[in-house]
Amino acid sequence: MSTLEQVREAWADALDVETDAVPLDVSFFEAGGNSLLLLLLWERLTELTARDLKAADLFEHSTVVAQSEFLDGTDERPVVAAASRSALLGRARREVR
């Protein structure tokens, strides 16, 4: 079973619908989910993939397609480095002057 099929099946379980009724390019919340159901989805995907997923990953990758690409490692969005708090404060101070 492909990752896409596994993710879609996990959504169907969480949303209590038939697998065919799960849209591929609609966010979990638009498909009828809520925060409690998202935690059920997170638990199911963690079991299926045996990965240390974070619930935030499911917010960031909010559709079946996006989640399956993320789990497959084919998410093509660029990685953005996080700036440190001190660097941001220093920049803000310089801009104020």
Tens of pLDDT, residue by residue over 15-35, are 999 999 999 999 999 999 999
pLDDT band at 87 (very low <50, low <70, confident <90, very high): low
The reply to whether 20 falls in a domain is yes
Which pTM was predicted?
Answer: 0.73
pLDDT digits (tens, 9 = 90+) for 44-68: 999 988 888 999 999 999 999 999 9
Domain count, the chain: 1
CATH classification of the domain holding 33: 1.10.1200.10
The reply to whether 77 falls in a domain is no
The reply to whether 37 falls in a domain is yes
The reply to whether 85 falls in a domain is no
Q: Report how far apart, in Å, the C-alpha atoms of 71 and of each of 16, 52, 61, 66, 94 are.
A: 22, 11, 10, 9, 41
75, two tokens? 């998410």
Looking at the chain, the whole-number percentage of residues with pLDDT higher than 70 is: 75
